[in-house]
Amino acid sequence: MGAFMKSEEVRHERFDWGVIGWRCTPAAVGARQLVVMDVEIRPGAGHDFHRHPVQEEVIIVGSGEVEQWVGEEARTMRPGDSAYIDAGRVHASFNTGAQPAHLRVVIAPAVGTTSGYELEDVSGQEPWASLRPSLAPDRP
């Protein structure tokens, strides 16, 4: 089975930190193993510390500059750079540039029947709550 998706068919979900475009999900295309997202993070904002209990993730920077955390290690990522995150590993992405950052995110396996995406927010727990004091307690 295969499915085509035109850009205008991508479902967008808005958050205070940016936008997710759900490109490949169980509900959108019948995917059983993959979730693929277009992610835009607004300048100065971030997708705070979280984990996907049973899902691996790859983040690829398309444009902008991102401070990517994997566990307690942070690296600056620019267009063409990528990060792999093991299932259950805490991570976060923060836009440190002046323009929106655009990421392509691939998560596997898909879980459930809608978004295929499972997330546990740990941003209020230590040590994550103290790693970026400039965002605490008023995280975007």
For residue range 43-83, what is the model confidence (pLDDT) as tens digits? 999 999 999 999 999 999 999 999 999 999 999 999 999 99
Taking phi first (over 0 means left), then psi (-120 to 50 degrees means alpha), and beta for anything else, what does residue 130 get?
A: alpha
> Per the domain annotation, does 4 fall within a domain?
no
Do the domain assignments include residue 106? yes
Residue 124 lies in a domain: no
pLDDT tens digit sequence for 28-54: 888 889 999 999 999 999 999 999 999
On whether residue 120 sits in a domain, the answer given is no
Q: Is residue 84 part of a domain?
A: yes
Residue 131's pLDDT band (boundaries 50, 70, 90)? confident
140 located within any domain: no
The rounded distance, in Å, linking the Cα atoms of 83 and 100 is 19
DSSP string of 37-69, one letter each residue: EEEEE-TT-EEEEEE-TT-EEEEEEEES-EEEE
pLDDT beyond 90 at 136: no
94 belongs to a structural domain = yes
Give the count of domains, the chain: 1
Q: What is the CATH number of the domain that holds 45?
A: 2.60.120.10
* pLDDT on residue 137: 42
Domain with 18 in it: 11-111
User: Is residue 122 in a domain?
Assistant: no
Tokens representing 40 are 């835009």
39 phi and psi angles, rounded to 5 deg: -120, 130
Cα torsion 84, 89, 95, 96: sign = negative
Produce one character per residue of 36-49: b if its CB has 16 or more CB atoms within 10 Å, e if not.
bbbbbbbeebbbbb
